[in-house]
Amino acid sequence: MSREQWGSRTGFILAAVGSAVGLGNIWRFPYVTYENGGGAFFIPYLFAMLTAGIPFMILEFTLGHKYRSGAPKTLASLNRRFEWLGWFQVMISAVIACYYVVVIAWAISYCYFAFSQSWGDDSNSFFFGTFLGLTSDNAPSRLGDLRWNLLLPLSIAWAATYVATYRGVQGGIEKINKILMPLLFLLVLYLIARIAFLPGALDGINWMFAPDFSKIWDPKVWSAAYGQIFFTLSVGFAIMLSYASFLPEKSDINNNAFMTVLMNCGFSMLAGIMVFGALGYMAHAQGTALTEVVSSGVGLAFVTLPTAINLLPAPGIMGPLFFLALVFAGVSSHISIAQAVITGLMDKLGWNRHQASTLFCTLGFLISLLFITQGGLLLLDLVDYFINNVALLGACLLELLLAGWLCRLTDFQRHANRLSEFRVGNWWLFCIRFVSVGILLILLFNNILGAF
């Protein structure tokens, strides 16, 4: 039986961009940028993109394309003793899939709430209290209390992933991304056009881009930039590798990797403009300082922005559209995470697509129920912290060490260059072997020590 393939180059790129562009672009990027010196952050960020993001993307595309299989089998082909690393990456993806989907479920609910802004004036106590049901004793002991209001949106999110992966690479994943990605870009452009002309919006945007050059010598800013790049590009844990394993024989790897990275980072800029435009307008309307309205992570998307939406003209249109954008970005990433697991199972255990997709989506759904309980948010934060700060960086590092030091990296360079319009030279070898490895070591040590 021959391996499934992407139907077209555009289809592959849109799917890869769909994986990269996710919840992280819309709420994480603006906040990380702000926290790390605004405009001055772009220098480390662009540097990280060039020295780690693009080289790593080229490597993952090359490995997937060369060995035509998911992470466990690919890494086993590189070195038999490293099959476990492939399974470890698959396991990370499986865990991420189980909680990433919960945030999508929140966004689906908020999409519905946004029609009438049912979060009211106090979006904070609405989110944590009314919606998630947290009480002062929101301990893990509350993992038994399911939030029934989240069951339907959670099922919808899993259903989307199930349909896409069940129908397969071309008939499912490619098709859905070809619809979702253009719609997502249009949605964000429309929201920016509506927001940018509101009073105060430009101040918000300026403020995000205003360089604070004193921060550029701060090592924390550099580690934030590299951390954001690995996360935002979904490299290092089998996802891009699994998508690339379905590339046709004749594929321009280097060019595809550049396009994917540039479109993802471009989208981040757009999302930043949208979010900070809205925050600037909100600060203006409330007569408060911008610094007082900014908050991070979950809080930004589900607490601060709902309040901003209340103040917008036509909130019943802009609100649902904003959350719809979040849902589209999330679903297309979730599909890629699930597919990484499914590809791993199929290639190594010889299952067919329907079996692998059904098994994983059913199990994943059951496990993700844990995260929609009263203690769920606490668990989610904990797991997310460990995955992002330790497991993911460790997996990235080991993959780079394996490919860069235990294998002949020049073989991969040749493979990548063979059919590509432009070639990668020695800088690529250098970035993989030294720059990325060095930075990851620093980040990992930093995070492990910082946890104590």
Q: Applying CB under 6 A, which residues contact ligand PHE?
A: 19-20, 22-25, 96, 231-232, 234, 239, 333, 336-337
CB 228 within 8 A of CB 28: yes
Of 174-203, binders to Na ion (CB under 5 A) are none
Nearer to ligand PHE, 119 or 328 (CB): 328
- From residue 77, give the alpha-carbon distance in Å to each of 70, 235, 397: 11, 19, 18
| Closest to Na ion by CB, 25 or 33 | 25
3-state secondary structure of 38: strand
Cα-flanking dihedrals φ and ψ of residue 147, to 5°? -90, 100
Do the beta carbons of residue 60 and residue 404 sit within 8 Å? no
* Minimum CB distance to ligand PHE, residue 18 (Å): 10
Q: Which is nearer to Na ion, 88 or 267 (CB)?
A: 267
CA distance 265 to 404: 25
Burial class (CB in 10 A: 0-12, 13-18, 19+), 50: middle
**Residue with smaller CB distance to ligand PHE, 59 or 282:** 59
Q: Which stretch binds Na ion (CB under 5 A): 47-55, 174-182, 224-232, 352-360?
A: 224-232
**19 is an interface residue for Na ion by CB under 5 A:** no
Cβ at position 22, least distance to Na ion in Å: 5
CB atoms within 10 A of CB 25: 27
CB of 139 to Na ion, least distance (A): 33
Taking CB within 5 to 8 Å according to partner kind, which of ligand PHE, Na ion, none is near residue 447?
none
Minimum CB–partner distance for residue 239 and ligand PHE (Å): 6
List the alpha helices (DSSP H) in 79-200. Answer: 83-113, 123-125, 151-167, 175-195
Q: Considering only residues 14, 15, 17, 20, which one is a binding residue for Na ion as defined by CB under 5 A? A: 20
Smallest distance from the beta carbon of 268 to ligand PHE, in angstroms?
A: 8
Residue 147 gets the label, from left (phi > 0), alpha (psi -120 to 50) or beta, of beta
Q: How far apart are CA 311 and CA 330, in angstroms?
A: 25
Residue nearest to Na ion (CB): 232
Q: Which does 373 bind (CB under 5 to 8 A by kind): ligand PHE, Na ion, none?
A: none
With CB under 5 A as the contact rule, which of the stretches 114-122, 232-240, 250-258, 395-403 interacts with Na ion?
232-240
Long-range Cβ pairs for the range 253-256 (8 Å, 24+): 253/58, 253/61, 253/62, 253/65, 253/415, 253/416, 253/419, 253/420, 254/58, 254/416, 254/417, 254/420, 254/421, 254/422, 254/423, 254/424, 255/420, 255/421, 255/422, 256/9, 256/12, 256/13, 256/16, 256/61
Q: In the bound complex, what is the minimum distance in angstroms from residue 32's beta carbon to ligand PHE?
A: 11
Residue 254 contact partner, candidates ligand PHE, Na ion, none, CB within 5 to 8 A by sort of partner: none
Which 357-396 positions form the footprint of Na ion (CB under 5 A)? Answer: none
Q: How far is the CB of 96 from ligand PHE (least distance, A)?
A: 5
Only segment of 84-92, 256-264, 340-348, 417-425 that touches Na ion (CB under 5 A): 256-264
Out of 19, 25, 117, 260, point to the residue binding Na ion (CB under 5 A): 25
H or E, element range at 406: none
Give 24 or 306: the residue with its C-beta nearer to ligand PHE: 24
* Interacting residues with Na ion (CB under 5 A): 20, 24-25, 232, 264
